Structure 1
């Protein structure tokens, strides 16, 4: 089983990558640093919460493990 600390670390790293990517996409789509940044920040917060829940659920599922 994966530890909570490992799941959290993975989620933080993944979301930093996502924040940078979404910030760039938001800026390119809107032409606004503020609007693109706000969109990226909201997306990152929602994604972070969903990822943590997803990882914790899968850490309890034994299917496919050896």
Structure 2
């Protein structure tokens, strides 16, 4: 299980990349850089929070993880 700092670091780097892409797409669609940035920041903030919640919930799910001490064919 990864620690919270790693989860947040992954989330922030992913959202930064997404923010840049969304800003470009929103600017092309809206034709206004300020509106494009504003919409992108809103969506990135929401995406960041939902990603972290999703990751932390999945970190509690053992399904599909396998048993490290079990033989490979029983997984």
- Report TM bin, short chain: over 0.9
TM-score, normalised by the number of residues in structure 1: 0.96
Q: Which has the higher contact order (CA 8 A, sep 6+)?
A: 1
Query: Structure 1 or 2: larger helix share?
Result: 1
Length, aligned pairs only: 66
**For each residue in 1:20-61, what CA deviation from the matched residue of structure 2 results, as whole angstroms up to 9, or x when unmatched?**
011001000011000000000000000001001000001111
Moved over 3 A (4+): none
> Larger Cα Rg: Structure 1 or Structure 2?
2
Aligned to 2:71: none
Q: Distance in 1 between matches of 2:10 and 2:63?
A: 21
Aligned to 2:56: 56
5+ residue gaps in structure 1?
A: none
